[in-house]
A and B are shown apart, each in its own frame.
Chain A
Amino acid sequence: MTTEHVRRTPAPPEGTYLGMPKFATNAKVQLGDNQLRKNLRNATGTIRAKRVARVAEVPEWEELRLAGEAIKNRTLRHLDAYLVQLEESLTRAGAKVHWARDAAEANAIVVSLVKAKGVDEVVKVKSMATQEIELNEALEEAGIAAWETDLAELIVQLGHDRPSHILVPAIHRNRSEVREIFLREMKLYGTPAPDNLTDDPTVLAAAARTHLREKFLRAKVAVSGANFAVAETGTLVVVESEGNGRMCLTLPETLISVVGIEKVVPTLADLEVFMRLLPRSSTGERMNPYTSMWTGATPGDGPQDVHVVLIDNGRTRVLADPEGRPALRCIPCSACLNICPVYERVGGHAYGSVYPGPIGAVLTPQLRGTSSEIDKSLPFASTLCGACFEVCPVRIPIPDMLVHLRHQVADKKRHHPGVEQTAIAAAGWVLADRSHFELAQRAAALAGRLLPGRSHLGPLPWPASPWTDARDLPVPPSESFRAWWQRTRGETA
């Protein structure tokens, strides 16, 4: 056995997202966890109710949604121009701009920037982009410790866990689980939790604050993402609730922000729309507690060494598909996760991506392609109930996009026909023409007549079992509507 690399930070779970089985298999495991279902039901129910109340206060909500959609659409249509403008503005303001085609390039840039600084740790602001490129693990491999400072991200990191929600990554944990994690892990990575730690949320938050304090004060480098990047001025925006972001963005000497290229907005004035849409959709608040905006480096104030890493990592591929493009409008708010009845039952881990829920089901297969089992199954992880579109602050037509992605997946399978293709072909033939349909109806009615006195069928073998394992199946009646019509009314149509 080789000498083990001594880790600086808690190890995440074994395995990779791409190695995960299909959604239905993961979902079944998660469904078996009653505690998880209870945690999710409570958490999503609470946040849904808050969103409804806060949105109801804004009579022009629909106009705001339309404005948000329009601004993002225009930006995406001219993304090349806005990105160049952003780079010019950032450079003018004293920031260094780096371009990364994929996760590996982005990680290499961040690692080399941190190494050049001669430090072996960074503090982090919660960021989806760095989760997506798995920056923490890349830093760990380079001997650099990345400390998450958002409370929920800290719970996930200390819990050797993965995030299960975009906004509340530890939504799957309840407070007694959090207490156990803090007691067990904090002492291994810094200031320990007090011995008399209770599961009172205030007490838990105080323990996190104490644990993080020494890291904030010690850190020379911070890594963040950005909610918005303003092309006109080069201003980056981070929206947060805990103040940990503000600490990271102001205390260290070096600030490295990893920003997806879709985060650009043309002007500062555009923020007026998004700063109204985002908090109400996200946390169900009128305003979020902390909004940090910085424009390059300001002499004598805050980080003097400011870097922005603009990442593509599949985004231009999404942009190239007119049907898939709306996913890039996302201002990660999580409203679609909180409203989704599928997400509420299975949680985020079943989606095999840092982007779970409805938006993940349309974004992940586009960013990663559909060659793995999990990515192929994601477009089908929805009942197409449409609740996600209703709550989306930038009107992403998630149900239509899921159907579009299903078409792409089905099209790929065309060359390897299986049971599904055969069944679809058979049903397609039946319904393609009236005469075929009438033939099939006579067969169904015959089946009905062969089961006299039975209204329903109970458990049946495969292929009926996925339905009948838990649901009785009605027996077709002996006469179809069409047959009844022809018998009683004649073929008058």
Chain B
Amino acid sequence: MRAEGLTVALFATCINDVMFPGTPKAVVTVLERLGCRVEFPLEQTCCGQMFTNTGYFDAAVPDVRNYVKAFSGYDYIVGPSGSCVGAVRHQHPMLAAHAGDEALAAEVDKVVARTYDFTELLVDVLGVTDVGAYFPHRVTYHPTCHSVRVAKVGDRPYQLLSKVKGIDLVPLPDADQCCGFGGTFSVKNPDVSVAMGADKAHHVLETGAEYLVTGDNACLMHIGGLMHRQRAGVRTIHLAELLAHTEGGAR
């Protein structure tokens, strides 16, 4: 297997680190199962997107510096979030330019090119779509906006999900429409955010799925928060956690 001996640096993302540690743990599980060596550089904090997208570029610059400091020594950097990986690739060069720091900009360009979404690392670098997962449940997948339109992960998540043993993967109506999370949009425009999320939750319920899966826990926290309030009975799970399940391991 090509993965044997490959060293991968894990970019956990701040929200996963604090709120959803199960997701980066699942990344470690899957990558180690595939023979990779996983490291977690402790200098990392956040992609800075929350600051950038709210208009506070200066507050985001230290996060860019931390990212470079943490990851500049690695050839493969992986994050379980299309949104955070997308922000690193799309916004860090702009933020380095904003800081007027040419040395930082040069470092950023190098690190950005080595940053992968979890699904990209599996499919493109490791060349694997069957990661040996087992998940005997009815599942629907929401392709989060930033994973599709910024990180551009394409159909990689579907390739991975379709190879999971026992899975009943059902299509989500209007899947390409935003769930309404939108970072600080969710609290600056809460009514629109909830209206969009309610429609998304409605479509999830229509599928009869037991699990809603995405590659971004922030979106999942929004849709899941709505469904939890409504006692909708649908559980949410990050793609990495789903892929970590094996036939022997109990859910």
Contacts and interface: CB of A to CB of B under 8 A. Distances in A.
Interface of A: 23-24, 27-28, 31, 341-342, 345-346, 379-387, 389-390, 403, 406-411, 420, 424-425, 427-428, 431-434, 437, 440-441, 444, 456, 458, 466-467, 469-474, 476-477, 479-482, 484-486, 489, 491-493
Interface residues of B, number: 66
Contacts of B54: 406, 410, 420, 424
A412 to B, nearest CB: 10
A385 B185 CA distance: 11
Interface stretch (B58-66, B157-165, B205-213, B243-251): B58-66
Nearest to B228: A472
Contact of A385 (B39, B62, B63, B149): B149
B251 to A, nearest CB: 16
Contact of B63 (A24, A431, A477, A489): A431
The B interface is mostly helix, strand or loop, or mixed, namely: helix
B48 A431 contact: yes
Contacts of A387: 145, 149, 176-178
A31 B189 CA distance: 12
A403 B54 CA distance: 7
Nearest to B52: A403
B126 to A, nearest CB: 21
B49 to A, nearest CB: 9
B185 A383 contact: yes
Given A466-B190, A473-B225, A480-B17, A389 B149 contact: yes
B72 interface: no
A251 B24 CA distance: 70
Interface string B173-186: 00011101111111
Given A434-B45, A467-B190, A484 B21 contact: yes
A99 to B, nearest CB: 35
B150 A386 contact: yes
What 4 pairs across the A-B complex have the smallest Cβ distances? A383-B182, A410-B55, A471-B225, A406-B55
Contact of B55 (A341, A408, A432, A480): A408
Contact of B21 (A411, A420, A467, A477): A477
Interface stretch (B104-112, B132-140, B194-202): B194-202
Given A386-B146, A466-B190, A470-B197, 8 more contacts: A380-B185, A380-B189, A403-B52, A408-B55, A427-B51, A433-B62, A458-B229, A474-B20
A492 B38 CA distance: 11
B182 A382 contact: yes
A403 B90 CA distance: 12
Nearest to B220: A474
Contacts of A434: 42-45, 66
A472 B188 CA distance: 17
Interface string B77-88: 000000000000
A407 B181 contact: no
B188 to A, nearest CB: 5
28 contacts: A341-B177, A341-B178, A383-B182, A384-B183, A385-B146, A386-B148, A389-B149, A403-B91, A408-B55, A410-B54, A410-B55, A431-B14, A431-B46, A432-B45, A432-B62, A432-B63, A434-B45, A441-B17, A456-B225, A467-B190, A471-B197, A471-B226, A472-B228, A473-B221, A477-B19, A481-B12, A484-B21, A484-B25
